[in-house]
Amino acid sequence: MAYYFSEPSRTFGEYLLVPGYSSSECVPTAVSLKTPLVKYRKGEEACPLEMNIPMVSAIMQSVSGEKLAIALAKQGGVSFIYGSQTIEQEADMVRRVKAYKKGFVTSDSNLPPEATLGDVLDLKTRTGHSTVAITDDGTAHGKLLGIVASRDYRLSRMTMDLKVTEFMTPLDKLVTAPATTSLHDCNDIIWDNKINSLPLVDEEGHLQYMVFRKDYDSHKENVNELLDENKSYIVGAGINTRDFAERVPALVEAGVDVLCIDSSEGFSEWQSRTIAWIRENYGDKVKVGAGNVVDREGFLFLAKAGADFIKIGIGGGSICITRETKGIGRGQATAVIEVAKARDEYYKETGVYIPICSDGGIVYDHHISLALAMGADFVMLGRYFARFDESPSAKVMVNGTYMKEYWGEGSARARNWGRYDLGGKKSLSFEEGVDSYVPYAGPLKDNIAVTLLKIKSTMCNCGALTIPEFQDKAKLTVISSTSIVEGGAHDVLLKDKAPYASNMR
């Protein structure tokens, strides 16, 4: 006979935190959001890989590319480069993140000499950048021929088919510098010559980097940035349970700091085989997370298999339709609560603390606080990061509003057969994700600062200055559907929106 859980599975939206005593020391600036990323013997040794904020980006084509990996590492979190691409492509992305030098930007706005003014405007719409490098092959590292900036053209006096070579600032009139120039010297050149950008070229004249005047302030040290011992940014990467024997060595050679098995369901022999292969070939030097699971048994299985961290959540992502198509999953809050309890029991028995990651089910910023309070060490976010400039997807106009494209790894668009390993054919028989849009939100840095302030403020309201203290002191209450309505704006006519009742969902 089937087993029936006595309690319903609940979501984050069904809980509230009850505030506790806050001393005068409980102010957001005093809160530390440091959290472990991989397992360690708590109390006996330091965690070998810690994050400065409890946020990682999802292993998705529309989320975690190299630009977002750099932007998130600057803020103290970790991106997991998506694995649904060739081994060479993923390794190259990891390599570029590890090779990135602060302040030196690889140009992502490039055109060949045969391009037109219309192409410049189209590229500006896609990237939001007004400085376009003209190279012989239209790539970021082609031979530099000139630069097109906003000052170089006037739309009222020029036609869309005018070639860029007719109005660009040519190389012989540009101020450039050797690719080996230090950031300090680059900034001096920019200020001395009163220019907005400085191209750095190698001995053969190929463009290597751009340094921008507007980035001057951001070149200052960020106290939260996550660096390895060589002062390179920390970056993760996704793997699957099919080609790991080829993919893992390439990613390790590229310098990846941590791996994660990307799968819709982690309570499987395929994952234990993958972890066993990594341990056999690399020992404990290569860190690998696993998942996803939603209960105690799933956690213990992956813990005993040797996972360095374990992800929780099935079907709770905004673009995931696993629960609709297959009828499996669990409410995210209930899953986190049960797995966190199993994690704590495992630690008491073995002395090994295995961090757990809540993946999915986050709709509002305060849901992150709830996940942490329930025991998660960090959260993995897809939709949240997909909205930002740094995500790989295109920014498009939909009904007069800028949006970013966002699709699931289980969608036909992603074609990510590797994360659904049931020992069958290497293709998707049906979709478990959708193709969609999310509202464009601007740069990651500005948005994440607000989110982190909300988390810190919530922790202060509960009298906690660290995540472990927060988990120890948190008091949570289940709320009714009526109290959910009470918790938002109600019984008023908002000035900038339609009446609240018409916006309920």
Q: Which residues are catalytic?
A: 320, 419
Q: Is the peptide bond before 292 cis (omega within 30 degrees of 0)?
A: yes
- Angle formed by the axes of helices 244-254 and 269-282, nearest 10°: 50
- CA dist 146 and 136 (Å) reads 10
**CA angle in degrees (0–180, nearest 5) for 480-485-488:** 130
Q: Please, which residues bridge with residue 190 across strands?
A: none
Question: Measured between alpha carbons, how far apart are the two ends of the chain, in Å?
Answer: 37
Query: How far is Cα 19 from Cα 17, in angstroms, rounded to an integer?
Result: 6
List the structure tokens of 349. 């028995």
Q: Which of 294, 367, 353 is nearest to 36 (CA)?
A: 353
355, 359, 364, 365 alpha-carbon torsion, rounded to 10°: 30
The two three-digit tokens of residue 96, written as one number:
């570029």
Q: Which two tokens stand for residue 233?
A: 């940014």
What token pair was written down for 254?
């590229």
- The crossing angle, in degrees rounded to 10, of helices 444-461 and 66-75 is 40
Q: What is the 3-state secondary structure (H, E, C) of 414-459?
A: CCCHHHCCCCCCCCCCCCCECEEEEECCECHHHHHHHHHHHHHHHH
